[in-house]
């Protein structure tokens, strides 16, 4: 089944005629994703890789039944693109660009929540559900195989590294979600955890975290409270980072004791969640959790 995207996902690509939009449209289609439309203001009547282009998302939805949007637009245009998609009736939006102004992100999240829209990102590589052959984003196709591990990550590159090792060892994934590397994201770890908890295909959850923010501590709290009952494994980047150091992502900034590596490790330990110290450790911990779940 997977979370958020599946075989019923019908995608409109906002910005399909740009270099990134067209290139990633091809890789999504190669994986099996149903790309039914693209948009470009003033571009109606064109086709990209056989996909019809419309002037607006509203026209695309009316003509093709698109229910999901992925946005290959500049950061400053993300808010307008997201609002357009939500107003057109789209129910899942994947906001790709990084450096979206925080106040714009807050506005998008608020509007998405008011309209029961699932938002992924910003600053995300997207989401993939291998069993449904559906990818809405730009994660590398070759690293993902169907299975029962639900992965949520704050780092795209680390996701590829770790998932490729799982796949090499025959451990498949239910859904892999790049939550985004910004302080404010539409589907943070706690929401992803709740979705994985309700997903019949997910047997084990893997969270790839980093310093900064409180997402990891919040997941640990859900486990400790019994809200999350499926096995959880974590991997944390930033063991050797100096305090107060920002690590690439805007969300990887420690403030006081909140978001520190120590606080995250302590929270997971208190909840009984095992934390891998290396990518290779992830494979053994996830394998053990899967075997214990049988």
CATH of the domain at 101: 3.40.50.720
pTM score above 0.85: yes
pLDDT at position 242: 59
Task: Tell me which of 138-147, 196-205, 236-245 is least confident.
Answer: 236-245
pLDDT at 255 over 70: no
CA–CA distances in Å: residue 109 to residues 105, 118, 174, 205: 6, 9, 25, 24
Count other C-beta atoms under 10 Å from residue 95's C-beta: 33
CA 265 – CA 12 distance, rounded (Å): 40
User: Which residues constitute the domain of residue 221?
Assistant: 139-293
The answer to whether residue 134 is domain-embedded is no
- Out of 120, 149, 178, a domain closes at 120
Catalytic residue among 24, 99, 249, 292: 249
Residue 285 pLDDT greater than 80, yes or no: yes
Q: For the ranges 2-6, 65-69, 79-83, 247-251, which has the lowest average pLDDT?
A: 247-251
pLDDT at 238 over 80: no
Domain annotation covers residue 127:
no
The per-residue pLDDT for 249 is 54
- Looking at the fold, whether 116 and 159 belong to one and the same domain comes out as no
- pLDDT score for 294: 61
At residue 173 the predicted structure's pLDDT band, cuts being 50, 70 and 90, is very high
Q: Catalytic site residue 99?
A: no
Quick check: 78 pLDDT over 70? yes
* CATH code of the domain in which 248 resides: 3.40.50.261
Does residue 145 sit in the same domain as residue 288? Answer: yes
pLDDT at 81: 98
Number of structural domains (the chain) is: 2
pLDDT at 240 over 80: no
Beta bridge partners of residue 119, listed in sequence order: 93
Residue 254 confidence (pLDDT) above 80:
no
pLDDT at 258 over 90: no
Distance in angstroms (rounded) separating the CA atoms of residues 11 and 61: 9
Banded model confidence at residue 243, pLDDT cuts 50, 70, 90:
low
- Mean of the pLDDT values across residues 36-43? 97
Rounded CA gap, 70 and 255, in Å?
32
CA dist., res. 276 & res. 35, Å (int): 37
DSSP string of 132-180?
A: GTEEEE---GGG--EEEEEEEES-HHHHHHHHHHHHHTT--EEEEEE--
């Amino acid at each position: 089944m997977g979370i958020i995207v599946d075989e019923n996902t019908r995608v409109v690509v906002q910005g399909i005629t740009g270099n990134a939009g067209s290139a990633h449209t091809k890789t999504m289609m190669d994986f099996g994703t149903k790309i039914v439309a693209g948009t470009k203001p003033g571009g109606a009547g064109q086709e990209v890789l056989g996909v019809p282009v419309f002037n607006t998302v509203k026209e695309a939805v009316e003509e093709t039944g698109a229910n999901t949007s992925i946005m290959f637009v500049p950061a400053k245009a993300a808010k307008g693109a997201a609002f357009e998609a939500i107003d057109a009736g789209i129910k899942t939006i994947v906001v790709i660009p990084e450096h979206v102004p925080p106040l714009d992100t807050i506005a998008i999240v608020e509007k998405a929540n008011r309209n029961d829209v699932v938002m992924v990102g910003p600053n995300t590589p997207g989401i993939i559900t291998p069993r449904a052959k559906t990818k809405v984003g730009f994660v590398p196709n070759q690293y993902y195989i169907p299975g029962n591990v639900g992965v949520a990550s704050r780092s795209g590159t680390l996701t590829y590294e770790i998932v490729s090792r799982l796949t090499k060892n025959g451990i498949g994934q239910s859904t892999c979600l790049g939550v985004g590397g910004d302080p404010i994201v539409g589907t943070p770890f706690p929401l992803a955890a709740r979705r994985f908890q309700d997903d019949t295909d997910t047997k084990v959850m893997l969270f790839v975290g980093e310093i900064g923010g409180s997402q990891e501590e919040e997941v640990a709290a859900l486990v400790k409270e019994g809200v999350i009952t499926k096995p959880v494994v974590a991997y944390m980047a930033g063991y050797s980072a100096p305090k107060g150091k920002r690590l690439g992502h805007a969300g990887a900034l420690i403030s006081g004791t909140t978001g520190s590596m120590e606080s995250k490790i302590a929270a997971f330990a208190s909840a009984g969640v095992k934390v891998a110290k290396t990518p290779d450790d992830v494979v053994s911990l996830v394998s053990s959790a899967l075997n214990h779940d049988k």
